[in-house]
Amino acid sequence: MVRHDVVVVGAGLAGMRAAIEASRYGVDVGVVSKLHPTRSHSGAAEGGINAALGNAGEDSPEKHTFFTVKGSDYLGDQDAIAVMCAEGPGDIYELEHMGAIFSRMDDGRIAQRPFGAGGAPRTCYAADITGHVLLHVLYEQLVKSGVTVYEEWFALDLVTDGERCVGVTAWDLVRGGVQGVEASAVILATGGLGRMYRGTTNAYACTGDGMSMAWRAGVPLKDMEFMQFHPTTLKANGVLITEGCRGEGGYLRNAEGDRFMFNYAPNAGELASRDVVSRSEQTEIDEGRGVDGCVLLDLTHLGAKRINERLHGSRELAMDYAGVDPIEEPIPVRPGAHYHMGGIDTDVWGHTIMPGLYAAGECACVSVHGANRLGGNSLLETVVFGRRAGAAAAQDVRRDGMGGVFSPSAVRVTERAIQRMLDVNQGERPYVLRQELADVMYDNAGIFRTAEKLETCKAQVAELRERYARGLVVHDKGRTFNSDLIQAIELGSMLQMADCLVTGAIARTESRGAHSRLDFPDRDDENWLRHTLAWYDDGEVELGYKPVTITEYEPAVRTY
């Protein structure tokens, strides 16, 4: 049993930023993460981070706010978006002072390039390894801060005293065994859930654990039906090729060599928002103008020098995982599940409805992305709202003191649940269900959705949840580095989150942002300009709704 004033679960950008901020307030901070911090998936972000610095062209936080609101298809909360866009520049300068290596303009200021549907060159970048650079800078700062990190501790359940969150239980992966982690405040920063889809850019670790923990503890999840499909992912393994390729002037072509995007987005072309580009690509592929299930991302006209300077990482990925050198030939790409807009319902300070529980980053839904996130806004969200959640948690702890009582029986309950999993010797292996889930989700809750497909999906997810409940066989019965056990637990989280996602999607009878219903092709502001809430109801998903915050910008028709 360990205790800290503030415990952060997850150590990607949002988690580390929260921990660093909380420690600045003089409270005792601990970080629990199933991966070593630098292994987090934030490091795979490539293209950049948005902030209205105005270095490369006229820009302002207001303009950034407007284009983010429009990009969200008006589902984003405008007060939250305004906060993010106003505070963004300060966070970028802070990261720069910490040592982040941002690419530069000739006069030594931070360089910025245009990203899809942004309306200005606003994306700061470190070549095409921005996430990697920021992740390592924040880890450096975490080391400097002296915060205690419990590496490779897999958080299992939130512990509450009936009212407040008082900590978590965690499985110590290296040594084995359930540990109690007592806290006055818990910040969830556990990232996304893309692994429930077959074609995804996400790491193996992105299994929605934190969202699932919150949901089971009675905290609502918001807008779970909104899954973003990134337009440029590699066919073989879903690896991301950055939007920066198009930001630097890359073309999308179909089998006939046409730059088809202008048929769908006459003004923005390749730099329309991600939902628009992914749907356009899928339409080209479905109508027979694809190349082996892909379209082509053509960078050849950019020349070797520019590709090597600005898109070196993408070139390496294309060569390693598609066998294609983008200097010589176009890269076959297709849409892949990339970013989950929904998550744990929070306010602009990361508070959830449960006292003592906060959330930030992809696992949270503030909501700044609404129905569709703009490229470059997720990294910004992690640092702005990570910082805010860290500050709020620390201040609340300083004001309110210890919080509730962590009952040691919580550890025993979790320990018994794990033992039950290890005791199963007959039945299915987890990977069978994992693969079925990924196929079911990609085929039925993907880019284009219909009531029929979604109902099929819901039924199949329910069936998978039943099979899961019957017990799966974990081969590894040992305690030391039992990743077989962890993967089985992760599967459980994914099944629950898939249920939340598809249940929300069935109910939302409109098309908005990334949620595209062929049977309801139009946006329906009258009925659906509202957030979906998914509540836990004895293992099942219970839907509720709440209004969208609209301040400056009345919903308008969204074209690019």
Partner 1 sequence: MHVTLKIQRYNPETEEQSLETYSVEMNEEATLLDTLDAVKDQVDGSLSYRKSCRMAVCGSCGMRIDGAAVLACKTPMKPIVESGEVPVISPMGNLPVIKDLVVDMAPFWAKFRAVKPYLEEDENPPVKEWRVQQEELDRVMTEALCIQCGCCVSECNSMESDPDFLGPAALAKAARFVYDVRDRGGKERLELYNGPHGVWDCTRCYFCNQRCPKGVHPRDAIAKVGAAIYQAGMHSDPGARHAKVFVKSTHKTGYLLETNLVPETVGAINAIKDIPFALKLARAGKVPNPLRPHSANKLDEVRKLHKLIEAQEQAAYAEGTAGPRRPPEEAQAKESE
Q: State the minimum distance, in angstroms, from the CB of residue 100 to partner 1.
A: 9
Q: Per this entry, what is the length of the chain? A: 560
**Residue placing its CB nearer to partner 1 in the complex, 96 or 443:** 96
Q: Can you name the residues that pair with 377 across neighbouring β-strands?
A: none
Which residues contact partner 1 by CB under 8 A?
35-36, 38-41, 43-44, 53, 92-93, 96-99, 101-104, 107-110, 127, 129, 132-133, 136, 140-141, 143-144, 174, 203-205, 236-237, 239-240, 316-317, 320-321, 429, 431, 473-484
**Residue placing its CB nearer to partner 1 in the complex, 104 or 259:** 104
DSSP state at residue 329: S
Residue 24 buriedness (CB in 10 A; 0-12 / 13-18 / 19+): middle
Q: State the minimum distance, in angstroms, from the CB of residue 74 to partner 1.
A: 33
Q: State the minimum distance, in angstroms, from the CB of residue 377 to partner 1.
A: 20
Taking residue 303's Cβ as centre, other Cβ atoms within 10 Å add up to 11
**Residue placing its CB nearer to partner 1 in the complex, 144 or 412:** 144
Put the strands of the sheet holding 295-298 in their side by side order: 227-234, 331-340, 295-298, 251-253
* Residues with catalytic function: 274
Q: State the minimum distance, in angstroms, from the CB of residue 542 to partner 1.
A: 33
Cα–Cα distance list, 329 to 55, 60, 529 (Å): 33, 38, 44
Taking residue 362's Cβ as centre, other Cβ atoms within 10 Å add up to 33
Which residue from 506, 417, 512, 511 is spatially nearest to 462, judged by alpha carbons?
A: 506
Q: State the minimum distance, in angstroms, from the CB of residue 476 to partner 1.
A: 4
DSSP state at residue 548: P
State the SS3 of 171-211: EECCCCCEEEEEEEEEEECCCCCHHHCCCECCCCCCCCHHH
**Residue placing its CB nearer to partner 1 in the complex, 221 or 433:** 433
DSSP state at residue 270: G
Instruction: Please tell me whether the peptide bond between 367 and the residue prior to it is cis, using omega within 30 degrees of 0.
Output: yes
**Residue placing its CB nearer to partner 1 in the complex, 126 or 165:** 126
Helix (H) / strand (E) containing 122: strand 121-124
Q: State the minimum distance, in angstroms, from the CB of residue 343 to partner 1.
A: 20
Q: Are the CB atoms for 153 and 172 separated by under 8 Å?
A: yes
**Residue placing its CB nearer to partner 1 in the complex, 150 or 528:** 150
